[in-house]
Amino acid sequence: EHKEWKSNVYGQCKSWLDLGLQPRAVSRDLDWGIPVPLKDAEGKVLYVWFDAPIGYISNTKELLPNDWEKWWKDESTKLVHFIGKDNIVFHCIVFPAMLKAEGSYILPENVPANEFLNLENDKISTSRNWAVWLHEYLEEFPGKQDVLRYALTANAPETKDNDFTWKDFQARNNNELVAVLGNFINRALVLTQ
């Protein structure tokens, strides 16, 4: 049991387990992807959420060919997956089941999943080009990456879906960073002189 997990993660996992695990597809009928390596599986490819977690391990192995196992097999490693709520089932049930079936890998100790952060009252979608693109933000606001970090952190969807708006971004910058924090720093500097 993982009662120290965030309530949304624990609740979703408990619900899945209480209902009894249902069959889950690991392949799709697509003309792109990793082909299923079986004789009778022509035209089938592995479902992205079945093979993607394997990529975490293979990327670690590629980056650290001599040390990758300490990240994935060493019992003293605390494995934590930071994800969104739509991936809870994969990171808490599917991927750990794959690791357990293989036998030599450690399991995630915690999976602190956030709710969704929407943009201007609409779901963020890279396929619809509806997102805050960092390279565009930095062109528009050079050197202001910490302002974006602050606004996103202050608005993090920890317990419920939240909405990022440019109006709120501006208000947080002007009212919280400049007015409150800036005033505090200015007063502290004056007092130390």
Cα separations (Å) of 181 from 153, 168, 174? 16, 17, 10
Strand runs (DSSP E) across the chain, as ranges? 27-29, 44-46, 117-119, 162-164
CA nearest to 60, candidates 69, 52, 51: 69
Q: Model pTM?
A: 0.77
> Is residue 155 a contact partner of residue 165, using CB atoms and an 8 Å limit?
no
Cα separations (Å) of 188 from 61, 177, 184, 191? 48, 15, 6, 5
- How do the domains of the chain map onto residue ranges? 7-102, 117-192
> Is residue 47 a contact partner of residue 25, using CB atoms and an 8 Å limit?
yes
pLDDT string in tens for the chain (193-residue length): 677 899 999 999 999 999 998 888 889 999 888 999 999 999 999 988 888 888 999 999 999 999 999 999 999 999 999 999 999 999 999 999 999 999 999 999 999 999 999 999 999 999 999 999 999 999 999 999 999 999 999 999 999 999 999 999 999 999 999 999 989 999 999 999 8
> Is residue 109 a contact partner of residue 79, using CB atoms and an 8 Å limit?
yes
